[in-house]
Structure 1
Amino acid sequence: MSTPENTSGTRGGARLSVLKTYKLYIGGKFPRSESGRVYEVTDAEGQWLANAPLGSRKDARDAVVAARKAFPGWSGATAYNRGQILYRVAEMLEGRREQFAAEVAAAEGLSQDRARALADAAVDRWVWYAGWSDKIAQVLGGANPVAGPFFNLSTPEPTGVVAVLAPQRCSLLGLVSVLAPVIVTGNTAVLVTSRTAPLPALSLAEVLATSDLPGGVVNVLSGDTAQLARPLAAHQDVNAVDLAGAGPELAAELEASAAENLKRVLRPGSGDWSATPGLERMSAFLETKTVWHPVGA
């Protein structure tokens, strides 16, 4: 008599792990890299963690197209609505806190307690930036005194599509510190993950996809930072570049490419992502629009 099959699909009680397949995030979808290639991601001790997609120049161009398509709707949304959407992202980050803490611990060789502290700090920072969505215009804008019967009002407006190079270290808190200020002010983003620690960024893409954030507002590419950053810095439809994850030589090269169409460039800073944030990263990718209006009209 034949014996019933093990309903778990395993032999002798052993179970095969279901390994996660990480993908790019472009236009609200999860495509494989255009080339189909992947690269190994290892932990702080060199042990294999996962395969991450190896993004190509074509993937970078597709991400820019998606970000440009999403820009009118996202920049035209009310500041209150953007803040509510970002707060929803924070709620979902909080719900997956343990997963992010585990990824940070593996990537950076930290204890679980330290990794949880960094995950908490990342969620708190996302909430902090979400709260600025309907306040930044009041702080950076204003009425200007002029000699004449006119109202002269200056208001900040988003720059457009921003290419963001995530910090190579501080894989979650640093990531949030560069991404949140770009999108809270109405810009759309093409994010290049850390080369060595891309998993928190790829997992964040899953959170963004299942939140209320419209597809294309954030696009996530993993792979070789330089190979992805070069076409983005030279792309005529990219309006600004954040060089947080670029080394000195690469940053100089990308800055020269960005000058070809007068992109805004935010140079790498101190890299202390635990420091209290200010308004610099939000104001870096805002333009000032000034309107004259006759008094009494």
Structure 2
Amino acid sequence: MGTTMSPAQRLAVRKTYKLFIGGAFPRSESGRSYVVNDAEGSFLANAALASRKDARDAVVAARKAFPGWSGRTAYNRGQVLYRVAEMLEGRRSQFVDEVAASEGLSRTDAETAVEESIDRWVWYAGWADKVTQVLGSANPVAGPYFDFSVPEPTGVVAVLAPPDSSLLGLVSVIAPAITTGNTCVVLASTDRPLPAITLAEVLATSDLPGGVVNLLTGQVAEVAPWLASHMDVNALDLTGVDDPPLATELERSAADNLKRLIRRPEVEPDWTADPGIERIAAFLDTKTVWHPIGM
């Protein structure tokens, strides 16, 4: 007969943290990883160190997913995003543990941060079918025509996530990009990537189509230049860049194909404040349609 191993003898199953590309969890094609420590400097995990090839693969996946995601009704996108919030709630305890370890917060403060993250996701989900009414318009014209201006998603958005706010800040930059039909490639916080990887697991098991959100872990200085210069990336969020010269270099690269841009802030925003709809509007184009009256 076999013997039963006591809890003290049991070896924990160590998690291998991977990238999230096209709805799957590949290792970096380079085979590299890096050490992730908690806020006190103790070892937490090894995370995949994304390469230029990984970034390119993520952009391909995001572009492939764009027609289907942008083509859904706004109401359906809202439903899908609300389902993500439901699943975030279901893994609340795990997120609290990871946010507390990553950011050095007390459990009470970590619980508050996770609750605000879930509420923020719900808030953006609610905007999915309201953006057109707020940012669109029926324009007065001098002639027998209807003239409408309608906001539309710009395409693939590359997002450099906030370095400090590992979940609330992350949600606050991903959700507004995808709510309106964009797809995105996200480079998680280098030092605090674990909540982002767990969020990717939530997205993978939700109703969100593969490729709508693609998540990379690694070094901003290594990966960001390839995203900024990629000609199939339509917009760039520089919130997570804490190096001013690098931010300037990325802006110059982004100008080559006229990417929409959120510039590097002087200090990381207060993610607990009312987010407004500026981030939603930042990644929209406006299409104006004329139509003869009576035809």
- In the superposition, the TM-score normalised over structure 2's length comes to 0.97
Mapping for residues 61-80 of structure 1, pairs under 5 Å: 61-80=56-75
| Paired position in structure 1 for 2:203 | 208
| Paired position in structure 2 for 1:240 | 235
1:220 to 215, 218, 223: 215
Sequence identity, in percent?
69
CA distance in 2, matches of 1:105, 1:81: 34
Q: CA deviation at 1:13?
A: 4.5
Residue 39 of structure 2 corresponds to residue 41 of structure 1: no
CA distance in 1, matches of 2:4, 2:32: 35
- In the superposition, the TM-score normalised over structure 1's length comes to 0.96
Residue 194 of structure 2 corresponds to residue 196 of structure 1: no
Residue 36 of structure 2 corresponds to residue 5 of structure 1: no
| Paired position in structure 1 for 2:280 | 282
User: Runs of 4 or more off by more than 3 Å in structure 1?
Assistant: none
Mapping for residues 144-223 of structure 1, pairs under 5 Å: 144-223=139-218
Please state whether the residue corresponding to 2:22 is helix, strand or coil. Answer: coil
1:292 to 286, 290, 293: 290
2:262 to 263, 266, 271: 266
Deviates more, 1:281-290 or 1:17-26: 17-26
Aligned residue type for 1:285: F
| Paired position in structure 2 for 1:255 | 251
Q: CA deviation at 1:5?
A: 3.3
CA distance in 1, matches of 2:157, 2:110: 29
Q: CA deviation at 1:21?
A: 1.1
Mapping for residues 97-116 of structure 1, pairs under 5 Å: 97-116=92-111
Number of residue pairs the alignment of both structures matches: 292
Aligned residue type for 1:261: N
Q: Which runs of 5+ in 2 are unaligned?
A: none
Q: CA deviation at 1:255?
A: 0.4
CA distance in 1, matches of 2:245, 2:118: 32
Aligned residue type for 1:140: L
Please state whether the residue corresponding to 1:281 is helix, strand or coil. Answer: helix
| Paired position in structure 2 for 1:143 | 138
CA distance in 1, matches of 2:39, 2:23: 31
CA distance in 2, matches of 1:242, 1:24: 20
Query: What do the CA deviations read for 1:104-162 (whole angstroms, capped 9, x no partner)?
Result: 10011000000000000000000000000000010000100111111000000000000
CA-based RMSD of the aligned residues comes to 1.0
